[in-house]
Amino acid sequence: MTPDEKLSLADKLYRTKYEPDPGHPHVTVDAASLKKAKTRKILKACPAGVYTKDPNDPEKVAVSHENCLECGTCRQAGADEGVEWKQPDGGKGVKYRYG
Ligand code: SF4
């Protein structure tokens, strides 16, 4: 096991610098589509844990767009789950990756 494999998700995310865009999330989910989805692949597919079950309503998915690594995985995995993803506006989003 390499040293990087021993790091927690929070440690790995700490290595990335973000420029947040408050009030303009580049990742959204359509709640109605998610309720219809038979599986919720995005909960497992996102490497940054952006999508989690809403602790107040297990039928809903919470989105922490500020942690997005812009890998694009959810564009594929979430295509039938109501995921809307676009590039962050210029100068926003991931600014720097270390390692
Ligand atoms: Fe997660 Fe990647 Fe989608 Fe961002 S682009 S929400 S990191 S799967």
Domain CATH for 31: 3.30.70.20
User: Buried b / exposed e across 48-78, counting CB within 10 Å, b at 16+?
Assistant: bebbeeeeeeeeebebebbbbbbeebbeebb
DSSP annotation of 6: G
CA–CA distance, 74 with 92 (Å, rounded to integer): 19
Ligand 1 pocket (Cβ < 6 Å) reads: 27, 45-48, 50, 68-74, 85
Q: Is the pLDDT of residue 11 over 60?
A: yes
Render pLDDT for 41-78 as a digit per residue (tens, 0 to 9).
888 899 999 988 888 887 788 888 888 999 999 988 87
**pTM score of the predicted model:** 0.79
Domain count, the chain: 1
For residue 18, what are the domain limits?
Answer: 3-96
Using most ligand atoms within 8 A of CB, pick from 41, 61, 67, 69 the residue to mutate for ligand 1. Answer: 69
Render pLDDT for 17-49 as a digit per residue (tens, 0 to 9).
888 888 889 998 887 766 666 567 888 899 999
Specify the residue with its C-alpha closest to ligand 1, atom 2. Answer: 71
